[in-house]
Structure 1
Amino acid sequence: MASQGTGYDLSASTYSPDGRIFQIEYANKAVENAGTAIAVRTRDGIVFGVENQVQSRLMVPGSNRRIHTVDRHAALTSAGLLADGKHLAGRARDEAKNFTDVYKQQVPIKTLVERVALYMQAFTLYSSVRPFGASAIVGGVDEMRGPQLFVIEPSGVVWGYNGCAVGKGKQLAKTEIEKLALGEISNEEAIDEVARIIFKAHDDAKDKDFELELSWIGPQTNMRHAVVPRELREEAIRKAKQALDDEMED
């Protein structure tokens, strides 16, 4: 990742001669090396799925979640440095609460995303700080625009999506998401597809064991963010493994 001069990666406020900011590129590398996180927007709402890598067999299952509730109607998940992702979730909660305190209503998803993105972008402007080593997926359902889904990159750039993926298996996951009729499937159908995609993106030969983390927002949860019930999650895992076995046989 070296340019024509060294020393240009010592500060996030320094450009290299060819116009690059290396610390932002390093932050993107941290995202690319993390477990895959995906989210899709269905006709009902939003479904999140995360490949939560198990760092040690001694860890308590489900003790280190990467999908965070931001407000009743919104959630955030991230890929990259775990601590950075949790900090962003905390900041998003503060922004949601601040908006509610001032305007006496739930924060619109787009407004929430723009506030978090400006916060992330501020960390690319000064030599005394470093960019966040995480990309955040923010999704939710608000009264004005319905289901919405956004990705915030370490640079602070925001993109709106119908379906998105960040992390190690990003390219394969995006290819699989593009095959789905996202505007037509329900949340229940999306849970099975999200589980299948994460299992397919996971490389058993190279990657550690992982826990599948699933959550959703939709009519099934009264438009509130909630963890997918255990029975649905286990059934989705069973179907995902069966689909992988069928592909291998073909």
Structure 2
Amino acid sequence: MTSIGTGYDLSNSVLSPDGRNFQVEYASKAVEADGTALGIRCADGVVLAVEKIVSSKLLVPGANKKIQTIDKHVGVAYSGLGPDGRQLVEQGRSEAYSWRGSYRAPISVSSLTDRLAGYVQAYTLYNSVRPFGVSAIIGGVDETGAHLYTVEPSGAYWGYLGAATGKGRQAAKSELEKLNLPNISARDAVKAAARIIYAAHDDYKDKDFELEISWASISETSGRHEFIPKDLLEEAERLAKQDDDEDEDEDEDMEED
């Protein structure tokens, strides 16, 4: 039997003969079509960064952020469909609020990720719904330290030292592997994140983008998830553009030789 052209992609609740859920695979394609998001687990916290593609010059700068706070100590960055991402964030906030009400304490990053992953996986089980078209990178600081996780459209999740998703994920992952993780400082991680986002953007430079970076750091933010200061963002972008220009010059020199 073959799973191509036989209607196995019409229902969320039916697997193909070779064990594939085509609706989940289609959701993953929606993630691959969006800008790059990445997370870095550093010595005293986590850094999240997003390349938000600007689809129109009429959009208000800074609107429709793709990095959001779930709880005071946890943030999420995502690639994929914006409405799906916002729904996932709202569910995460509900889970965090419920946990505080039950246990009178902030939810741990691992428990929050586990609950969100279960919520996402439930949307792969029933014919009346479709999978979430987002991959989320969840990072934060709790009593046990800094943590970084990814949640895929299938509901699978893993813990990472560095993670990337979206259109430039392969290039970003290659650059993340070169970092001294998790021993890098939060400020150095911010600059590295900006550089990696600009490097991953090289394949589709015809599209403008906004760079969003946040962090949750014991030394910088007392464990709270916040967007980085404007001056640090400007410095990180300046250094990233400088490195990007130098790489272009080297490529041109190699072509001439």
TM category (shorter chain) comes to over 0.9
1:54 paired residue number: 54
2:246 paired residue number: 246
Inter-partner Cα distance in structure 1 for 2:93 and 2:4 = 42
Inter-partner Cα distance in structure 2 for 1:64 and 1:108 = 27
Inter-partner Cα distance in structure 2 for 1:207 and 1:15 = 39
Change in CA separation of 1:66 and 1:5 when aligned onto 2, cut-off 3 Å? same
Inter-partner Cα distance in structure 1 for 2:17 and 2:156 = 22
The answer on 1:157 being equivalent to 2:151 is no
Q: Conserved in 2, the CA contact under 8 Å of 1:4 and 1:17?
A: no
SS at match of 2:147: strand
Which aligned pairs between 1:97-108 and structure 2 lie closer than 5 A?
Answer: 97-108=97-108
SS at match of 1:202: helix
Inter-partner Cα distance in structure 2 for 1:184 and 1:114 = 26
Inter-partner Cα distance in structure 1 for 2:4 and 2:59 = 44
Instruction: Give the partner amino acid of 1:149.
Output: L
Structure 2 residue runs without a partner (length 5+): 251-257
Structure 1 residue runs without a partner (length 5+): none
Number of residue equivalences: 248
SS at match of 1:203: helix
SS at match of 2:62: coil
Bigger shift: residues 226-235 or 205-214: 205-214
Inter-partner Cα distance in structure 2 for 1:88 and 1:131 = 12
RMSD of equivalent CA atoms: 1.2
SS at match of 2:184: coil
Normalising by structure 2, we get a TM-score of: 0.94
1:118 paired residue number: 118
Normalising by structure 1, we get a TM-score of: 0.97
Instruction: Give the partner amino acid of 1:140.
Output: G
- Per-residue deviation, 1:100: 0.5
SS at match of 2:138: strand
- Per-residue deviation, 1:205: 4.3
Displaced runs of 4+ in structure 1, greater than 6 A? none
Bigger shift: residues 146-155 or 9-18: 9-18
- Per-residue deviation, 1:5: 3.7
Inter-partner Cα distance in structure 2 for 1:90 and 1:217 = 19
Inter-partner Cα distance in structure 1 for 2:240 and 2:97 = 38
Deviations 1:7-50 (A, max 9, x none): 11111111112211100000000011110000100001000110
